[in-house]
Structure 1
Amino acid sequence: MNIDLSGKIALVTGSTEGIGFAIAQGLARAGATAIVNGRTQANVDAAVARIGGNARGVATDLGSAEGHAALVAAVPQADIVVSNLGIFQPADFFDTDDATWDRHWQVNVMAGVRLARTYLPGMEAKGWGRFLLLASESAFNIPVEMIHYGVSKTADVALARGLAKRMAGTGVTVNSVLPGPTLSEGVEAMLEAERVKSGKPIEEVATAFVQEHRSGSIIQRAARVEEVANMVVYLASPFASATTGAALRVDGGVIDTLM
């Protein structure tokens, strides 16, 4: 299968590292012009340089309406939008204040809502487009250590389904992608103390974490960011034209349901 996205503009939010960077890199390799987004100019510039010629960047914090407006001024139209930006913060439910809930809602949900309001009408006018929201297996397996995060990711799945129905018959598809435990820079940072304590390579520490805290994993390890990106690049391609309104898993089999 040769995925050719030449001539397409692909915006990937939160893409200076981790899963987002792997997605932007994968889309650029498929021929798209990848728009890298992050909060700081230095990180954006570094990511664009790593990807190479098929990339440019916009530095803005999409956790606010003002940050979104700055993005739109720089990128008024896109053929492919991947709402990847997300945060997570382990905290017991009874210690999670309103500010934490609101920050997760603004970054993990409302950033995607704003992107959809902005870019879907342009896709509809062209008769083709791909809109993807990065959710999580935590949307279905709500993690007790960060209920606020799980709730926000469930909202992303619902948002994608509703938007897909809203765009019915337009040639625009909308889907959500559900990664499981993935060895991104964020997860590495979360596991750093254990890595230092154990003296083991980060891959082994991540595997032990998965086996202890996500024991239902079928692959019994953390996924690589490229494995998630591969699913997204396919969904962004013309080959995925009959896939819409779906929640596609790259969870290593953690979610224990048939659908």
Structure 2
Amino acid sequence: MEQDMEHKGKKYLCGVGVGPGDPKLLTLAAAETIRTADLVLAPTSYKDEPGRAEEIVKKAIGNIPIRRILFDMTKGKSGIELRKSAALIAAREIVNLLQPGGKAAFLTLGDPNVFSTFNLIANSVSSIDPGVEISSIPGIMAFQDLVSRTGMTLLDEEESLRLLVGLQVDSKIEEALMDDSSAVVIYKGGSNLSAIVELAKKTGRLAEGWIGVKIGLEESEVTTLQSVGDGPVGYLSTVIFPPKRH
């Protein structure tokens, strides 16, 4: 009985991955969690416009109430600090609005535990109320969707995967491309596409490279890296190099 009372008094926060963009790729577990949540929140870059995660859910589930959390996507340290401040404000709202036993669902593109704002929200909620139970529902990531569209086998046998961010093209990306046994996935590299292409040429990986822009949306584009030119392309881009198989 005591355990039941404790369970009923808890508050819950779940990060829900909604996939890369196609509403049909929203998982059953994600849909159920969203439908049964007492509070659904989603990040957006503009206060009066829905973010992509919100748009996906409304297409898949319908016009459910969703509270928007404004996240500034400025690059660098200043952007990180702005996002931390936004997460703290949202965390206070979550803790205050949830009744004992209440459940909040925070929507994220792709997976909530990979390159996601959910980590900031979860950490902020825990700092305010350590008793809130944190969980997550995995989501299909953009690179997985892109792989399925190219027909490639991304990994086999003892090959490895390197998942990187391309906001800055540095030695990490070059080092990854030099490892022929690794598949290399680069997120958010659209503004630096020309530098990525040059590194791919230098390391002999250009011929196998693919790029997807706005994966999952109606206007999505999937093409070989050789044919796309030097860019830049959109922020929401994914570049993939399968291992170099001899």
User: TM-score normalised to the size of structure 2?
Assistant: 0.35
User: TM-score normalised to the size of structure 1?
Assistant: 0.34
Q: Which has the higher contact order (CA 8 A, sep 6+)?
A: 2
Q: Which has the larger radius of gyration?
A: 2
Q: Which has the higher strand share?
A: 2
